[in-house]
């Protein structure tokens, strides 16, 4: 935005350029540590990596320096004194032209990146060039004359550092410094934002003056910072619902765990591992150090759920990140069990549902994720329905072999058989139904699926576009799951509104049995599913979707599954039928080799725009998935492994309390799927 404003101002108003001028500094070089603190303009360093900066400056590698407010003082601190140290000049020795010539091959280049003139920067190219050519500091002047100090004129208009506006020369030098394992120093109040995710080791030096930067960095306004950031690392993760601030990163690299690992494998190697992970996975530093500690330990702790943070860039250059969990369901040492858990009347986060499941069964879930779709309060209000419909399932749900809700569309379901077999299959109610209450029963033939009859019972799911159905004297029964919500006796030629909640039954009055259908009472529904599904052998099932992968290929068909039906769209808080809408998403896949993969992609945060259904399919296929389906996306997306939520929820119900940042908070959901292992 600052770049756009400057560009317009410069183009339209053509402001008169100021005469070259460099501010004088009140500082002078006495003590290194004191000088660095003074440089920030603060009495307190919220982040203090002076020791790493000192060591880096003594290394004979090229460096890029982005000047701050006091360029004379900074030149002394970051350029002259380090070079004097590299060529072993004593405190009283002068850097002469002869001494410079003798050591020129061992002296690293220092590149000053200078923006073209704009409103907020007094240090435009001509001013800095004039200063270096006319300075009375002979040593600095010599370094400039012999090409040790080089000015790189960038074409930037914006405040900060912008790769696209850097210019050809700037990009070329950036690559050279990267390839030579050099580093970057950015100085000023926007320093921490200027070189985000640049694949070069870098230092951010400045003072917190704005609340936004304070929230991102995790230190108070007024604090100074001298921050080291390894190549490619982003120290603040998941803004505006951060799971890691810059201060958290500093604590981690000063921790006992970091020191122990560094002592074992070397600090340089450890920082290289951190950089490598940042490019590929983007793992939070605390989790990454635990993983590195485990991987490099002689006694490795075995985990039966493998997890990896994953990230990438789409073809349109948009970033994505998330987490992938893997379970070997064919393990010969552990038997895996899966169950669906519901909290329809009392929605809870998946983490709490896992605790409830453990308390009720004694089984400790090792992995859990959010389940299918429900009718939430927002949708109930939009549809003008009574509160009694809140929490109604919107698809097949089988718990402990009992049908809690029949299929309502033609969407996929995650199915757990009693023998432990897992399958992903399309489910629907088009083959007919049988409804039982005690000894009484009634059959709905498939010929009268989504079709009226005055003679025989007929039924309607949500895989249609009807706004209303014919009553014409029939008795209409509205169901939510397996609960009778309403019984309507119609008159001749009367039509009844079809509400997008559950099955709607239409029974000729002479066939209606009051013993079967009692308002607010439960009934037993037996869908006549495909014979190959063997309903009696199913222990748990959750309908969600869409189907993403079949036989190792993307197979998204929103129309065939019913997503584009009017009654499906009415049940959506977000347009789930849109295949090109990116956001947080979660999916489960099965491989032909007996692995179950759960992929949760973050969205609505700085590091990740989220994923489309096709994006999810492509990512899962790249990991070898043969069959896969999605689950309730958006803020409901939750993946929990060993009691810890791994994905980032872009949500916090207290968001109005802090417009800048609040830690992520798992959303309340009505159902979840949980997995646990037992010895064989």
The alpha carbons of the chain give a radius of gyration, in whole angstroms, of 32
Query: How far is the C-alpha of 294 from the C-alpha of 273, rounded, in Å?
Result: 14
pLDDT at 179 over 60: yes
> Of 246, 144, 241, whose CA–CA distance to 195 is shortest?
246
pLDDT at 25 over 80: no
Task: Compute the half-sphere exposure of residue 603: CA atoms within 13 Å on the CB side of its CA.
Answer: 20
Q: Are 243 and 284 in contact (CB under 8 A)?
A: yes
**3-state DSSP of 533-595:** HCHHHEEEEEECCCEEEECCEECCCHHHHCCCCHHHHCCCCCCCCCCCCCECEEEEEECCCCE
Least trusted range by pLDDT, from 229-243, 251-265, 289-303: 289-303
Tens of pLDDT, residues 344-399: 778 899 999 999 999 999 999 999 999 999 988 888 998 999 988 988 999 999 99
pTM for this predicted structure: 0.88
Q: Read off the pLDDT band of 295 (50, 70, 90).
A: confident
Tens of pLDDT, residues 70-83: 788 888 899 999 99
What is the mean pLDDT of the segment spanning 244-269? 97
* pLDDT of 14: 64
Tens of pLDDT, residues 91-108: 889 999 999 999 999 999
Q: Read off the pLDDT band of 28 (50, 70, 90).
A: very low
Percent share of the chain, pLDDT over 90: 71
Of 281 and 663, more confident: 281
Q: Structure tokens of 415?
A: 């199915």
Least trusted range by pLDDT, from 122-136, 267-281, 396-410, 479-493: 122-136
Least trusted range by pLDDT, from 185-194, 246-255, 363-372: 185-194
Tens of pLDDT, residues 30-78: 577 777 887 888 889 999 999 999 999 999 999 999 887 778 888 889 9
Tens of pLDDT, residues 508-534: 999 999 999 999 999 999 988 766 678
DSSP 1-17: -HHHHHHHHHHHT-PPP
Of 344 and 271, more confident: 271
Tens of pLDDT, residues 411-429: 999 999 999 999 999 999 9
What is the mean pLDDT of the segment spanning 540-559? 98
Domains of the chain: 17-254 (3.40.50.10880), 259-301 (no CATH), 324-374+541-679 (no CATH), 432-527 (no CATH)
Task: Compute the half-sphere exposure of residue 579: CA atoms within 13 Å on the CB side of its CA.
Answer: 14
pLDDT at 481 over 60: yes
Q: Read off the pLDDT band of 131 (50, 70, 90).
A: confident
φ/ψ of 155, rounded to 5, equals: -100, 25
């Amino acid at each position: 935005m600052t770049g756009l404003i400057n560009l317009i101002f410069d183009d339209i108003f053509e402001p008169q350029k100021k005469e070259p001028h460099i501010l004088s500094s009140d500082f002078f070089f006495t003590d290194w540590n004191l000088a660095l603190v003074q440089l920030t303009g603060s009495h307190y360093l919220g982040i203090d990596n002076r020791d790493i900066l000192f060591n880096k400056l003594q290394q004979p590698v090229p460096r890029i320096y982005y000047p701050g407010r006091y360029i004379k003082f900074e030149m002394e601190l970051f350029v002259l004194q380090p070079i004097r140290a590299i060529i072993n000049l004593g405190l009283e020795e002068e850097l002469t032209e002869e001494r410079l010539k003798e050591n020129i091959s061992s002296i690293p280049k220092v590149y000053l990146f200078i923006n073209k003139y704009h409103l907020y920067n007094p240090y435009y190219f001509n001013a800095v060039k004039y200063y270096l050519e006319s300075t009375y500091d002979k040593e600095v002047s010599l370094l400039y004359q012999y090409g040790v100090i080089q000015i790189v004129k960038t074409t930037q208009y914006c405040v900060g550092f912008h790769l696209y506006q850097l210019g050809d020369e700037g990009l070329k030098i950036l690559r050279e410094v990267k390839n030579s394992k050099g580093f970057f120093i950015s100085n000023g109040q926007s320093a921490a934002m200027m070189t985000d995710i640049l694949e070069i080791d870098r230092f951010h030096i400045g003072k917190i003056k704005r609340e936004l930067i304070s929230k991102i960095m995790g230190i108070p306004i007024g604090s100074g910072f001298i921050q080291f950031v390894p190549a490619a690392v982003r120290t603040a993760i998941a803004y505006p619902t951060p799971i890691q601030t810059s201060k958290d990163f500093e604590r981690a690299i000063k921790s006992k765990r970091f020191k122990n690992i560094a002592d074992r494998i070397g600090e340089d190697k450890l920082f290289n591992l951190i950089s490598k992970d940042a490019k590929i996975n983007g793992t939070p530093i605390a989790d990454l150090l635990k993983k590195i500690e485990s991987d490099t330990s002689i006694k490795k702790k075995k985990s039966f759920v493998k997890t990896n943070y994953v990230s990438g860039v789409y073809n349109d250059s948009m970033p994505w990140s998330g987490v992938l969990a893997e379970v070997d369901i064919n393990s010969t040492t552990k038997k895996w069990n899966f169950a669906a858990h519901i909290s329809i009347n009392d929605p809870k986060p998946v983490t709490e549902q896992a605790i409830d499941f453990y308390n009720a069964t004694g089984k400790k879930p090792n992995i859990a994720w959010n389940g299918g779709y429900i009718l939430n309060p927002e949708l109930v209000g939009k549809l003008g329905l009574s509160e009694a419909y809140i929490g109604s399932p919107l698809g097949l749900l089988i718990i402990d072999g009992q049908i809690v809700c029949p299929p309502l569309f033609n969407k996929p379901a995650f199915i757990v058989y009693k023998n432990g077999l897992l399958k992903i299959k399309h489910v629907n109610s088009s083959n007919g139904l049988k409804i039982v209450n005690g000894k009484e029963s009634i059959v709905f033939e498939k010929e009268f699926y989504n079709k009226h009859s005055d003679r025989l019972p007929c039924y309607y799911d949500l895989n249609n576009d009807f706004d209303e159905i014919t009553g014409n004297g029939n008795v209409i029964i509205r169901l939510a799951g397996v609960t009778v919500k309403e019984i309507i006796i119609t008159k001749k030629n009367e039509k009844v509104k079809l509400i997008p909640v559950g099955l709607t039954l239409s029974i000729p009055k002479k066939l209606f049995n009051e013993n079967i259908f009692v308002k607010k009472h439960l009934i037993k529904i037996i869908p006549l599913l495909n014979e190959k599904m063997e309903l009696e052998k199913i222990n748990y099932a959750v309908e969600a979707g869409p189907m993403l992968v079949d036989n190792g290929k993307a197979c998204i068909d929103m129309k065939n599954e019913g997503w584009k039906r009017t009654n499906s769209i009415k049940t959506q808080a977000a347009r789930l039928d849109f295949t090109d809408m990116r956001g947080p998403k979660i999916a489960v896949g099965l491989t032909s080799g007996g692995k179950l993969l759960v992929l949760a992609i973050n969205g609505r945060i700085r590091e990740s725009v989220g994923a489309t259904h096709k994006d999810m399919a492509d990512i899962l296929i790249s990991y070898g998935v043969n069959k896969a389906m999605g689950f309730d996306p958006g803020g409901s997306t939750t993946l929990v492994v060993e009691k810890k939520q791994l994905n980032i929820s872009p949500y916090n119900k207290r968001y109005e309390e802090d417009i800048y940042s609040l830690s992520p908070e798992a959303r309340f959901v009505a159902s979840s799927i949980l997995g646990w292992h037992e010895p064989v």
